[in-house]
Structures are given as structure tokens and as C-alpha cells.
Structure 1
């Protein structure tokens, strides 16, 4: 399997680290795109993964300014794309088909090729323009998720909360994350 992983400037970079670790462990080929906004947020979210941490987990790292990268073309086959975290600005670009950087172009390509695109939002409260953009992205074919962990599995730490969201996001691609307990599932 080959997935494009976009990291945009929303708070929640630890979710990106958790997903990249899971994909790495599952042997999924990853093509990573980190926006300049995400790089700025990383410095503010002390204790979270660094750019070096994220790039070490990816098979290929693409410069967000490189609109000629492989993932900018529909002829480059992937099994889909996820954006985690997905900022309100990136959501607006996806909803409006505005492809001014590699992340938004790769998302556009994913939609035009009718491949799965999962946008993991991490922002509250949700103003009307964002809700409108969520609906437009949904209508274009994207799956929208919030980085909202469940608590029925009695998490003991932040890693377990991240793991829950990671597993739910990767469910969208048919991937099973080891150790994920589903609702009313007695096994781990």
C-alpha cells in the first residue's frame, strides 16, 4: 500500500507522528508533505514530534513548494491520502479546489482520481465558513474526521488517546492497527 500523508498547520502534530509510526510499523509506503504552517506549529507544540521525527518515518519526503513532485500527478498511483492535522486553511483549499502548494495539489489529485482522502480536523469551535467548507469537501468526496478520541477503552495516557484516533483514521484505508480495542471488543 502507498499513502500520501499531509501535515498542515493545525494544532495536533502528535497525531501525525502517531499515524506515521503506525504506517511505518504496518509497512505502508508513505509520501510525506509538511507545510510551512505545520513547521511553525511544531516549534510551538513542545514535546511533540519534530520535523526530523516525522521525516525519519516516511519513505519519501516532498517539499510543499514542489508542484512537479510525483504526488502532484494522477498518473502516480497511490491508495489515497490523509491530512493530519488538517488546518482550516487547508480545508478551505481542498473544498474550493485551490491547489497553491503540493499538499493542496495532492489532495486535489486524490479527489479527481476518486481515491480516498481523509481530512483530520483539529480545531474548535467550528465557525460557519469552516462548516460550509467541511460540507463542500465531503461533497467532493473527502472523508472528514475530527481528532476526537474515545474513552470507552479507559485510556491511561496521551499515547493511548493518540492511538485511538490513529486506528480510527487508518480504518478508513482498511488498515488494522495492532492493540486497538473496538467498542465492546474484549480482546486487544
Structure 2
């Protein structure tokens, strides 16, 4: 399976980080096309303490704890509209944007994108592939909600970064991973079952 993962400039960079780690560990994903927005680089530095400016594949692998020579993750420049995810003829299962800023969500909803994240999401929708958006904002205003409704009607899946607590998380990582597992479920990707609801 091949997927595109984008991290944008909303707070919650840990959701993108943990999604990448879980995808890499799943054994079901052969290639991840990674796109980072400019603001995401700032948020990653502030929230996770990682400086990914001018990062290359080895630096991304180091950040994620992967072997330095791993080819699993292919990093694409935000302005590279000739990258594989920008074309519908390039086969892949879909795309995840985690976290998804409201600016990114609005650009996708309008169909007036200006960068590779917007274009890849538009291609995902037009090809009928799975597009998962993870907004992290509070409160939502009417524009946010209207844009989300428009995208759901176009085929996107909205998974807000709303934590669950029935699995009694003891760490932030356990809290985040519960949401990440919900993202993986959208693609049928195997993961730990420990946070699944089993009834009361």
C-alpha cells in the first residue's frame, strides 16, 4: 500500500508524528509520500523539539527512529507540483492530513489549492480514494463547519482530534495513538487492538 501523509501548521504535530510511526510499524505500507507545510515545520519545532528545516530523507528517518537508509518515506517539497501525489495516474490508497489546519481544509474545500498538499488532496477526492482530515481547532466557527460538510459530501472523512478516555490512557502517547488507530482503521491497516471498545 502507498499513502500520502501531510502535516500542516495546526497545533497537534504529534498526531502526524505518531501516524507516521504507526504506519511504518504496520508492515502494510510500502511507501509514504510525506509533505510538510512551512508552518508545520515551526509547530514541529515548538511542540516536538525537532528542527526539520532543510531536512532530507535521512533526517526524517532519524526523527522517526527508522533505519537511516530506509526508503519507506519519500519527502516531497511543498512547491513540487510535479511530485507523484499530484497526479491521479499515480496509484495509491489515499491521503492523511494530520493535523489539518483550517486554512488547508478551506483551500481543499474551495478547490483552489496552491501547493502540493492541496493538489494531492484534490487528486485523492477526484479519484475516489480515501482522504482523511484531522482538524485540531476549538471552537469551530460556521465557516469551518461548512467547509467540513462540503468535504464530507465530496467523499472526505473528518476525524477531529477529539481524545477518548474509555481505554484509560496513562500517557499523552496512549491518548494520541487511540486517534491514530482510528485513522489507520480507515485504510484497513492493522494495529494494536488495546484501545478498541469491547463493551461494558
Q: TM-score, normalised by structure 2?
A: 0.87
| Unpaired runs of at least 5, structure 1 | none
Mapped partners of 1:181, 1:85: distance in 2: 21
- Shifted more, 53-62 versus 119-128: the winner is 53-62
Q: CA deviation at 1:19?
A: 0.5
Q: CA deviation at 1:111?
A: 0.4
Mapped partners of 1:164, 1:48: distance in 2: 22
Aligned position for 2:96: 82
- Deviation per CA, 1:156-179: give whole Å up to 9, x if none: 110100110110111111112124
| Unpaired runs of at least 5, structure 2 | 65-71
Mapped partners of 1:176, 1:168: distance in 2: 11
Q: TM-score, normalised by structure 1?
A: 0.92
- Deviation per CA, 1:85-115: give whole Å up to 9, x if none: 0000000011111220000000000001000
Mapped partners of 2:181, 2:129: distance in 1: 19
User: Does the 8 Å CA contact 1:32/1:55 hold for their aligned counterparts?
Assistant: no
Mapped partners of 1:185, 1:50: distance in 2: 43
Aligned position for 1:33: 35
Q: CA deviation at 1:140?
A: 1.1
- Shifted more, 80-89 versus 20-29: the winner is 20-29
Q: 1:97-176 residue pairs with structure 2 within 5 A?
A: 97-176=111-190
Q: CA deviation at 1:49?
A: 5.2
Q: CA deviation at 1:59?
A: 1.6
Q: CA deviation at 1:120?
A: 0.5
1:55 aligns with 2:60: yes
Mapped partners of 1:48, 1:170: distance in 2: 25
Q: What is the number of equivalent residue pairs in this alignment? A: 185
Mapped partners of 1:108, 1:64: distance in 2: 15
Q: CA deviation at 1:48?
A: 5.2
Question: CA RMSD, aligned part only?
Answer: 1.8
Q: CA deviation at 1:132?
A: 0.7
